[in-house]
Structure 1
Amino acid sequence: MTLIDKLGRSVSYLRLSVTDRCNLRCSYCVTKDFKYTPHPNILRYEEMLQLIDIAASLNVSKLRLTGGEPFVRLGFMDFVSSIVKSHEDMDLRITTNGTVLEQYVPELKRLGVSRLNISLDTLNKETFESITGCDYLEKVLSSISACLSAGIHIKINAVAMKGVNDHELGSFIEFAKENPVDFRFIEFMPMGQDTRWTDESFWGADEILEQSRQFATLTPIKRTAESRGPAQMFSIKGGKGKLGLISPVSSHFCATCNRLRITSDGNLRTCLFSDKSYRLREILRNPKLSDKHILQVLANATKDKPLGNNILQTRTGSEGVCGTQMSAIGG
């Protein structure tokens, strides 16, 4: 069985948030009134493994673990080990802010986790503290260095924000020249009711590309079947790394979306921009219900998977495209 929606898109990618807790308070991600989900409502690792087993039976071949910050949850590395043992053929990846990552690099290498995404919106110490509320930039850079030394491929994701990090473009590109990383800019998305997004803060992919050409000679890299992701990648002449642009606002990629999201409290979301969700936790914890019921929910939800761009176009002004903020969804 394969999950296919009414538009003919097949699902092969699951993003699973293991926690909504994070040791940073990034201004674009966490609102001042945000409250963490009570611990009893967070899925247990055993329940997450059950969902991963079900997803694998539906031909989901790629799994990304997200947060919050996944490495702050107790027992996370044991969870990763369990996934690797049960699904050695699954493409397992992790998204992290990198602040506590370095100590886990040797174990990740041993387990065969070969790809990580690290969120890093600035290379400036003061700007980092302004965005995140913490002085952890050196910890992130040290984690990146440790990963590269261990042969773990790194993608760095920077949320592109005018007036915040646009003046660092030359430094970002220089970093990608000097290090074998994919440095990817993600357009700032208007997520959540209390979003900080404004027209003035939006730094679009086309503008970033035009400005980037002032600092480097860039050549588009043709997408292949293996690189179906949302980023348009560019090689950098004379550089070790690559530049990437992800444009969910200015040039959506909804027609090829192949993913589902499950939040840390067990809600299935078929589209990042839609607040419609399907409650899985109650099914998992009901002894009278089985995997068949979860399979049915996944199939029915996928069938009605919307086009996110249609939802995006309904928003007005600077309001959020959905009521749920990014930290509660898991990216």
Structure 2
Amino acid sequence: MHKTLEDIHGRAVSYMRISVTDRCNLRCTYCAGEGMEFIPHPDILRYEEIMELMSMARNLGVHKVRFTGGEPFVRKGFGDFMIEAAGRFKDLDLCVTTNATLIGPDVERLAAAGIRRVNISLDTMNRDKFKTITGRDHYDTVRENIDRCLEAGMRLKINAVAMHGVNDDELPAFVEFARTHPVDFRFIEFMPVGLETGWEDQRVWTADEILSEANKLAVLTPVTAAGERRHGPARMYDIKDGLGRIGLISPYTNHFCSTCNRLRITSDGNLRTCLFSDKVYRLRPALRHPRLGMEHVERIIRLAGHSKPIGNELLKKMRASDHGVCKTRMASIGG
């Protein structure tokens, strides 16, 4: 019988985010842009190694696993891997975050395998602006694949990184999309993660600003957690006479560190306990060592999980430093 994982602040760890690749077919300006250097293929966790980590995570009390990137569907065989994982770990809540450019051919078979919760990153409702932000002309494909996911019965969360000077002029379009589609449209404050992102305090379009403006566009009612699964870090709002909902995630201005329940594993096998920390725990050497085995990996995870910090305290120190941001780029962390 394995003891579940709890940190020194009394927070139980029940959610693991696993990046399957740092590669992406888009070049979003706030993530890394052009000229990225990728992790060599031999250093990327193999699918079977990810399966071993999922099995251990389940034994430690994790009940939700989200696959991230980069862009997960860039990796060869990712759809097959998800279907195999869904069959093997029926008691785990498996989901994926994607930019929705490549998911199309896999939608129906993923839904049939029980993968019904998908997060899609989409920062604009404007085709030209999409190309400016991402460096690629894939807007129509993303919109088509959103429709395809909805037709397959998937529950979608659309995530937009909220940035002044980038998409703060599109709130009416965002609210209208949520009103006319059965999705959770969530605004995520621009976070100080990655030296190359050009993060500045004045670029943060805050959750409070968004809510104030959105209330002028629609009648919004706060959603309580009673009667349904908790919304994670998002504050959710029903839209009167609407099909979808609006969500606000405010890691910068109104942190949710006291209830954080997650660990992150990067595509090269580093365990991270907080987005705002550059500290990593290396799992891959132990996974591939012929004599150490999974018991050693479990000890590392327990040590890391127990030492999980309060991110807001790290953020304050980070803001006071010379660089002011977490040094590691988001594509490497997996969001």
Tell me the TM-score normalised to structure 2 length.
Answer: 0.97
| SS of structure 2 residue aligned to 1:219 | strand
* Matching residue of 2:330: 326
* Matching residue of 1:304: 307
1:135-214 counterparts in 2 under 5 A? 135-214=137-216
Match of 1:74 among 41, 58, 76: 76
* Matching residue of 1:316: 320
- Supply the AA of the counterpart residue of 2:315: L
Measured on the aligned residues, the alpha-carbon RMSD in Å equals: 1.2
Does residue 30 (structure 1) correspond to residue 6 (structure 2)? The answer is: no
Cα offset, 1:85, TM superposition: 1.6
* Matching residue of 2:92: 90
Does residue 9 (structure 1) correspond to residue 6 (structure 2)? The answer is: no
- Supply the AA of the counterpart residue of 1:265: D
Q: 2:321 & 2:296 partners in 1: Cα distance?
A: 40
Does residue 240 (structure 1) correspond to residue 240 (structure 2)? The answer is: no
Query: Percent of pairs identical after alignment?
Result: 54
| SS of structure 2 residue aligned to 1:142 | helix
Q: 1:182 & 1:228 partners in 2: Cα distance?
A: 10
Q: 1:174 & 1:317 partners in 2: Cα distance?
A: 40
Cα offset, 1:195, TM superposition: 2.8
Match of 1:124 among 123, 126, 134: 126
* Matching residue of 1:229: 232
Q: 2:322 & 2:251 partners in 1: Cα distance?
A: 16
| SS of structure 1 residue aligned to 2:275 | coil
* Matching residue of 1:286: 289
Deviations 1:140-186 (A, max 9, x none): 10011001111100000000001110100000000000000000000
Q: 1:201 & 1:46 partners in 2: Cα distance?
A: 41
| SS of structure 1 residue aligned to 2:224 | coil
Cα offset, 1:84, TM superposition: 1.1
Does residue 53 (structure 1) correspond to residue 55 (structure 2)? The answer is: yes
Q: 1:32 & 1:156 partners in 2: Cα distance?
A: 24
Cα offset, 1:32, TM superposition: 4.4
Q: Which stretch shows the higher mean deviation, 222-231 or 73-82? A: 222-231
Query: Where do 4+ consecutive residues of structure 1 move more than 3 Å?
Result: 316-320
Q: 2:9 & 2:301 partners in 1: Cα distance?
A: 16
Q: 1:25 & 1:274 partners in 2: Cα distance?
A: 24
| SS of structure 1 residue aligned to 2:30 | coil
Cα offset, 1:197, TM superposition: 1.2
* Matching residue of 1:259: 262
Cα offset, 1:82, TM superposition: 1.9
- Supply the AA of the counterpart residue of 1:281: R
Which structure 1 residue ranges, 5 or more long, are not aligned?
A: none
Q: Which stretch shows the higher mean deviation, 256-265 or 313-322? A: 313-322
Cα offset, 1:321, TM superposition: 2.6
Q: Does the 8 A contact of 2:28 with 2:135 survive in 1? A: yes
- Supply the AA of the counterpart residue of 2:115: V
Deviations 1:71-128 (A, max 9, x none): 1100111211221121111100000000111111111111110100000000001110
Q: 1:319 & 1:213 partners in 2: Cα distance?
A: 36
Cα offset, 1:290, TM superposition: 1.2
Q: 1:61 & 1:79 partners in 2: Cα distance?
A: 18
Cα offset, 1:233, TM superposition: 0.1
Q: 1:232 & 1:169 partners in 2: Cα distance?
A: 17
Cα offset, 1:318, TM superposition: 8.7
Tell me the TM-score normalised to structure 1 length.
Answer: 0.98
How many aligned residue pairs are there?
331
- Supply the AA of the counterpart residue of 1:296: R
| SS of structure 2 residue aligned to 1:166 | coil
Cα offset, 1:31, TM superposition: 4.4
Q: 1:318 & 1:168 partners in 2: Cα distance?
A: 33
Q: 2:143 & 2:187 partners in 1: Cα distance?
A: 17
Cα offset, 1:230, TM superposition: 0.2
Q: 2:35 & 2:113 partners in 1: Cα distance?
A: 38
- Supply the AA of the counterpart residue of 2:187: F
